Every structure is written in structure tokens, then in C-alpha cells.
Amino acid sequence: MERKAGYILLLFSFISFTVHSQYYQPFSQGQSLPLYQNPSFAGTLVYPRFTIGGVMNSSDESAFTVLGVSRFYCSFDQYLPAIKSGVGIMYTSNPDIYTPLKTQRVQGEISCSPKIKLKNKFTLSLGASIGISSVLADSDTLNAYSNHSYSASPFLCYSGGAILHSPTFYVGYSLRRFPSLKTEYLSYNPLKYDLIQRSKFVSTAQLGYVFRKKKSDKITFSPALLLQFYHMDNGFIQTRYQVNFSLKRNFFFWGAGFSSNSSFMTIGFHGEKIRLAYSASLINQGGNPFVVAQEMVFSYTFIK
């Protein structure tokens, strides 16, 4: 039981990298959305877990905002002892930030992660996921910018990764393929785009540690470093980083993080079964006024 509690604490320490560009990127609270970054996190908690989260922006960057929420995430994962693997299912909806248009990328996928027990309480988790994704564009966007009718055809997305972890340490890497709309100006009409759905790849490296004086200590400090590498169409690889930490005492926690053009703070409650977190992010849009984004994430673990 103590080892399982250690894994729960370690996963709490994982604060995901937020993809940054001139537009705000989803989910600073990556510790609550593990499958979003690496399929190897499926089944890491041993117990079944359900998670739902959303982001509300102060800027109207999404044409698909529902009740003020422009980004949405939900997932379920658990460990299956019979196959010594974790399994998971995930659905996400995010604005496609790789175009200047108001488009939304929706994605559903399933994942599987075999667990290999090593010495000294270490575990090697290997993960893979596969699913269907599409980039949606609203009618106003199409009429204003596109020279032809665009069809959001299904797109095969997949990811793979690995994580080496113990109750106090993790290091991981993953590679994900997803769709994005490619926009090309038309030579005969510079105000119109040609919309083409294309694939993009992003790889993520993760490193984190949990500090506490002794196993019974109720205060923990958890720093983390994440790197993301974007594989661009011209072969160029763009690197981004985030440094973050969290401080937990009993059932309450506080976290903060920063990157080259943003920062965020998180507060919340983390009990044995329920985790509820709120975060506020301040994003520099590159010459434009700062944008404030609010995020809520709820997670429930089915502990017997």
C-alpha cells in the first residue's frame, strides 16, 4: 500500500509542459492529465481513475467555445493485473494553433502500457496509443478565408513512449502524431487560404523528483523539467521548455511554473480519492496584451 501511495504522490508531482506560441496552449495541469503527454502513464496509479478538465480563455481564439470552455479533456485509465499492463481511453478538443484561423482539433484514442518491474522499486512502463482525429472549421471561417469547401476527414493519430519511474522519481520520453490544417496563401487572391490537413509530430522529454525528509512526512516538494521538440515541415526542430514545482501539505497543494513567455499558479485539494485543482495562467502573446486563462481539473480515483 505504501508503494502505491508513493506512485500516487509521484504522479501528482508531474506538471505537464504547456505548448507555447503566439496562442495559449492547453492544460498547465499536466499532472492531472497524464495520458495527454505520454501513453505510458496508463495504469500507473494501479487503481481506476477518471479525469475531466477544461480551459477558459479571456481571448476569443476558438470558434467552438461551449459555456466559455474552449479546451476540453476527459480520460479513464486503470491497471489490469491479468496482462500486467495499464489501459486507457482519452478524448480531447483544442483549438488548432498552427493556423491563423479559428479551427478546433478533436481527438479520441485508446492506449496500452505494459509494466516491467525492475530492481530497487523501479518500473519501466512502455506505452502506445492509437485513435482518430479531425480538424474542424466553422462556416464563417471557411467563407471568409478558404477558396473551397473543406471536409474534416478522419485522420489516424498515434503516439508511443516510455517512462522509468519509482515512488520518488520519473524520467520519460514520448512521440505523438496529430493533424493540423496547413494554410497557404493563394497567388491570385492573397486574402484567401488553401486549407490542407497535414500531419505534425511533437516529442516530449519528462523529468521529475519528489523530495520529503521521511516516508511519514506530510510535506513534499516536487520540481520538474519538461522539454518539447516540434518537428516542423521544413525539417527544423523547435525546442521549448518549462520549469515548475509543487508544494503539498496534507491534502492541500500549491504549484507554479514558467517558460519563455508564460507563467502559472495552481491551488487545489488532493485527497485519497478526489483531486480538484484550479490554475490561472498569464501568457505573453508576442507584442499583444497578456492573456489570462483559467483552468479547472477534477479527478476521481476508485480506491477500494
In terms of pLDDT, which residue wins out, 262 or 273? 273
pTM of the model: 0.79
Domain boundaries, the chain: 2-301
- State the average pLDDT over residues 8-26: 41
Q: What is the pLDDT of residues 160-202, one digit of tens each?
A: 999 999 988 899 999 988 776 666 555 555 555 666 666 778 8
Tell me what the pLDDT averaged over the chain comes to: 77
Confidence of residue 129 (pLDDT cuts 50, 70, 90): very high
- State the average pLDDT over residues 60-67: 55
Q: What is the pLDDT of residues 130-162, one digit of tens each?
A: 999 887 776 666 666 655 555 567 788 899 999
pLDDT of 242 reads 81
Q: What distance in Å separates the CA atoms of residue 160 and residue 140, rounded to the nearest whole number?
A: 36
pLDDT of 120 reads 85
pLDDT of 150 reads 58
Q: What would the grid cell of residue 135 be?
A: 480538424
- Superfamily (CATH) of domain 2-301: monomeric porin ompg (2.40.160.40)
Q: What is the DSSP letter of 96?
A: -
pLDDT of 21 reads 33
Strands (E), the chain: 49-57, 71-80, 85-95, 103-117, 123-137, 155-166, 169-186, 189-209, 219-231, 237-249, 252-258, 262-270, 274-283, 291-301
Q: What distance in Å separates the CA atoms of residue 27 and residue 135, rounded to the nearest whole number?
A: 19
Q: What distance in Å separates the CA atoms of residue 271 and residue 66, rounded to the nearest whole number?
A: 30
- State the average pLDDT over residues 78-89: 95
Task: Kindly report the number of other CB atoms within 10 A of residue 221's CB atom.
Answer: 13
Residue 87 contacts residue 80 (beta carbons within 8 Å):
yes
pLDDT of 272 reads 87
